[in-house]
Amino acid sequence: MTLRIVEVVATLAAPLVLTDEMHLDGLLASAHPMCRESPIGRDTPVTALVSPPLSIMQLSFGGATVRLCTVADAAQSAQLTTSQVVKRRDALDIAALARPIHLGLGPGKNRLGRLPVVVTPTLTWRAIGDRRGIVRLAKRITHVGTWRAAGYGQVVHWDVTMHAVDDPESVLVRDGRAQRTLPASWVEDAETVTTGAIQAPYWHPARQGASIVPVGARCTLRAAIVDGVRHAAHHEHQVAHRKRHGAKREARRSA
């Protein structure tokens, strides 16, 4: 049987600011209409968090459910540098304030800061799922990373392709290292186990309580997880997933 994964490549026109790992499912979820219609904050209760249907397949084992995708991988030529950012109120800002502020002290003080910036021509993700569904959401995304309003992380092109592979489990562990945050119960051994999130939105405080293997840590997947990933990567299973996903989408539109 043919085993397939999806490769997603974003071509960037500007450096990006990354403060955390960028999982593909979290990125696509942020572009989904259900999430854009219901914006959330750090104080949003977990019961109000929206989990939109995505074209990335998921695997459940040991009480944990994880989307089969990686975090962003920069090009080999990528460089880490810093960029200066200025926080300064102009005359119009000051005129609109309800009361005077001190530009040399307190919250109104002018500031010069530095941002950690990654200079890379591309970002690459790998996933198991429906290519067309991933394309539909990726095309909605024009900037990635943080400080997007300042122009960082501008995306000029998305390239989403299917590839036949022998090791689809590489979307979770590749060359012995975790390619995304993994439940600690999914691995036989790991050099590091900490707490964090395994589901989007990964930044939300309510998601931070899981026992995880962090991105980049050396680990070995359990045989049951490898079997589950390989099952999901079969072409006929991906076709069935696409049909179910499409049927649910049409049902939502009709409703």
Average pLDDT value for residue range 194-200: 96
HEC string of 108-171 equals HCCEEEEEEEEECCEEEEEECECHHHHHHHHCCCCECCECHHHCCCEEEEEEEEEEECCCHHHH
Among the listed residues 115, 118, 117, the one whose alpha carbon sits nearest the alpha carbon of residue 78: 118
Instruction: Map residue 96 onto helix, strand or coil.
Output: helix
CB crowding 91-130: b at 16 or more within 10 Å, else e: eeeeeeeeeeeeeeeeebeeeeeebebbbbebbbbbbbbb
Determine the average pLDDT of the residues in 1-24: 93
Q: What is the mean pLDDT of residues 190-205?
A: 95
- Give per-residue pLDDT as tens, 30-61: 999 999 988 888 999 988 898 899 999 999 99
Segment 105-147, tens digit of pLDDT: 555 666 667 788 999 999 999 999 999 999 999 999 999 999 8
Which DSSP category does 73 fall into?
A: E
What would the mean pLDDT of 220-245 be, rounded to a whole number?
87
pLDDT number for residue 149: 87
- Beta-bridge partners for 125: 8
pLDDT of residue 254: 75
Radius of gyration, alpha carbons of the chain: 20
- The predicted pLDDT at position 180 comes to 98
Alpha-carbon span 178 to 213, nearest angstrom: 7
- Domain boundaries of the chain, sorted by first residue: 4-78+120-254, 80-118
Distance CA 33, CA 64 (A): 26
pLDDT value of position 163 = 94
| Highest-pLDDT range among 95-104, 213-222, 243-252 | 213-222
Question: Could you report the per-residue pLDDT of 163-189, keeping only the tens digit for each?
Answer: 999 999 999 999 999 999 999 999 999
**175, 218 Cβ separation under 8 angstroms:** no
Q: Left, alpha or beta for 126 (phi > 0: left; psi -120 to 50: alpha)?
A: beta
pTM of the model: 0.86
CA distance to 5, 73, 204, per residue, from 57 (Å): 11, 20, 22
- Per the structure block, which two tokens stand in for 171? 């979307």
> Residue 98: its pLDDT value, please?
58
Spatial separation of the C-alpha atoms in residues 34 and 38, rounded to whole Å: 6
pLDDT at residue number 160: 98
For residue 43, what are its two tokens? 């104080």
